[in-house]
Structure 1
Amino acid sequence: MSENGILHPPCQRLFDPPEPPGVDYPVRFVQIHWDRLIAKRHLVLETTDLHQAYLLKPEVVKLLDAQKNTTHRLIMDLLWGTGGRVSEILGLKPSSFIEDGYGFGVILRTLKQGRGRPTKRSLHRSPKRYIPIEDPLLQDRVQSYLWSGKFKKDERIFKMARQTVNRHINDLVVRMGGAPFPISAHTFRHSFAIHLLLHGLPLKYVSQLMGHRSIESTEVYTNVLTVDGGHFLKGVDFH
């Protein structure tokens, strides 16, 4: 305290050790051989319980880049970036997105996929889950779309049915030369789960993001990690 009674913060001495920098979480680096995983996909689908087709990041990025319609591009971005069911994405409102100064994300109402848009009753009764959105490009797309659309707080931002979304995705795939398996909005949900597991995220956390009632529903995606196990047998001599 100075002579005039004003309290000053303590002065740091010149050779005091600096405070260690704050680190939120360890940096994770994963090197993924995408071409190999794409080549092995048919084995996953033929030999495991994972009967639903899935896409891998390079394929999803090509589809996203080819979609020039702003609304349909954002829907696909959110399907891929949140793992939400198409009914959950179609139920989004401006109030669904949260930015609190520490992060940006979206609250999804956990809805089973059904015909058309979700009803008000199903929206009211469904549980919620929070999905962080760390991708700055997706954050910018969401915020720009909300700003340009001038939506009311509780107005649905995507006024279309599930069948419309799937039709536009199918048309896009056809324009891109087709695919060896059907691709729908739900394909992006499977792809999201597999993408997280390939990057080493805990199964329990992936299950929570997916809105699964049981972790067993999420475990099926781990087949993508185990089907390509030839490297385990290298060096094992049988003759």
Structure 2
Amino acid sequence: MSYSSRNGEINRMVSGIPAPRLLDEMRRVLRLKHYSIRTEAVYVGWVRRFVLFHGKRHPREMGAAEVEQFLSALAVQGDVAASTQNQALSALLFLYRDVLGVELPWLDGVIRAKRPLRVPTVLSRDEVTRALACMDGRPWLLASLLYGTGMRLMEALRLRVKDVDFERGDIVVRDGKGGKDRHTMLPRVLVEPMRREIERAAALHAADLAAGFGKVWLPFALARKYPTAAGEFGWQYVFPSTRRSMDPRSGEERRHHFDARILSRALKRGVREAGIVKPVSAHTLRHSFAAHLLEAGQDIRTVQELLGHKDVVTTQIYTHVLNRGGMGVVSPLDR
């Protein structure tokens, strides 16, 4: 089912109350505040579940008791993780404060579920080498880029041609977590593969232009500020999709970036073929990047900047997985 069809079904499911207008207004405010389309879909979904959970009552008619009841049901009956429960709460906070314009003191008193502190899964250097050796093509290049630069998955997929500097060996990560830009390195071993990938993107872009397309999605108001930028090659994705698709917001036919699900499947297959039993995702490569830099003696502040962490405390979690287990202490049995 398409994104627009799914949203239409959401509206129909809560018919009988002003919910269709409510959900449309929520989408409008989310877009006005530049939230991603993924966040939009998730937040609208949580509001829909909240309304249906309470018998299609309008949120204005509900308060702290109903919110706490909904969140408790998620934890007790749904057995959801703390992060999922907090995501639902964030959606409801956005609904009341930003969409309905209701400042309710009890919102500040709603207790967020405490997220358990987890030590990240990190692959050894040998495991990374084995896993990458079992991959090929664009998934191999993307996985190598994630491990070699420390970028998040969506940061790599949304990478634009203009932000790769081959002369300086530099990559500019635009609009990372928290809306911040940062720099990271371009690994030397990936220079030629990246050049070939950009040449491939150039060929696709030329074909799109010849067919009357070739405009890429631009963030925020850049499309209005720079009317011709969307069609310029520098703004195109380094890893474009193999085919064009319909933009769910504007309705324009464009070429989106490479599908994250294809990379995820290829990575899982490579890990399995390499005989690695650890649970591995694309984010595991970012964890491994940080741990291996610290293991090599790199300054933690530098690693913090490369990862784009707001606080060095977040980066310090990787010090727990360096070299040996048990925080690097040698067991007395080994002595």
TM class by smaller structure: 0.5 to 0.7
Per-residue deviation, 1:57? 1.3
Q: Choose which of 203, 207, 221 in structure 1 pairs with 2:300.
A: 203
Please show how residues 1-239 of structure 1 align to structure 2 within 5 Å.
49-68=117-136, 70-100=137-167, 103-112=168-177, 126-133=179-186, 135-150=187-202, 151=205, 152-158=233-239, 159-177=257-275, 179-225=276-322, 227-230=327-330
- Given that 1:50 and 1:221 are in contact with CA atoms closer than 8 Å, whether structure 2 keeps it comes out as no
Cα 1:210–1:233 change in 2 (3 A) is farther
Q: Following TM superposition, by how much is the alpha carbon of 1:157 offset from its aligned partner in structure 2, in angstroms?
A: 2.5
Unmatched runs of 5 consecutive residues or more in structure 2: 1-116, 206-232, 240-256
Alpha-carbon spacing, 1:232–1:193, altered in 2? closer, same or farther (3 Å): farther
Identity among equivalent pairs (%)? 27
Give the distance between the partners of 1:91 and 1:213, measured in 2 at CA.
21
Equivalent pair of 2:169/2:188 in contact (CA under 8 Å): no
Displacement of 1:233 in angstroms is: 10
SS in 2 for 1:130: strand
In 1, the alpha carbon distance for the partners of 2:120 and 2:334 equals: 30
Cα distance change, pair 233–218 in 1 and its aligned pair in 2 (3 A): farther
Question: How many Å separate the matches in 2 of 1:224 and 1:232?
Answer: 19
Structure 1 partner of 2:33:
none
AA at the equivalent of 1:156? Y
| Alpha-carbon distance, 1:165 to partner | 2.0
60 and 167 in structure 1: CA distance in 2 versus 1, 3 angstrom threshold: same
The one-letter amino acid paired with 1:198 is: E
* Shift in Å, 1:174: 2.5
- Tell me the SS of whatever aligns to 1:92: coil
Task: State the Cα distance separating 1:167 from its structure 2 match.
Answer: 1.9
Gaps spanning 5+ residues in structure 1: where? Answer: 1-48, 113-124
1:76 positional shift? 0.5
CA distance in structure 1 between the aligned counterparts of 2:309 and 2:175, rounded to whole angstroms: 9
TM-score (norm 2): 0.47
Is the CA contact (8 Å cut-off) linking 2:290 and 2:318 kept in structure 1? Answer: yes
Q: Is the 8 A contact 1:50 1:223 kept in 2?
A: no
* Distance in 2 of aligned mates of 1:232 and 1:161: 49
Q: Is the 1:110–1:211 contact (alpha carbons within 8 Å) kept by the matching residues of 2?
A: no
Q: Work out the CA distance in 2 between the residues paired with 1:172 and 1:110.
A: 30
Aligned length: 171
Q: Distance in 1 between matches of 2:192 and 2:135?
A: 17
How far 1:128 sits from its partner (Å)? 0.8
SS at 2:328's partner residue?
Answer: coil
- Partner SS state of residue 234, structure 2: coil
Task: Kindly indicate whether the alpha-carbon contact (under 8 Å) linking 2:146 and 2:286 is maintained by their aligned counterparts in 1.
Answer: yes
Alpha carbons 2:122, 2:321 under 8 Å: kept: no
Specify whether residues 110 and 154 from structure 1 end up closer, same or farther in structure 2 by C-alpha distance, changes over 3 A only: closer
Q: Deviations over 1:129-185 (max 9, x none)?
A: 11122x3211221112212332522111222333332122112222333x3221110
Question: Which residue identity lines up with residue 108 of structure 1 in the other structure?
Answer: V
Q: Which has the higher contact order (CA 8 A, sep 6+)?
A: 1
Quick one: which amino acid aligns to residue 90 of structure 1? L
Which stretch has the larger CA shift, 157-166 or 191-200?
Answer: 157-166
Cα distance between partner residues in 1 of 2:327 and 2:277: 20
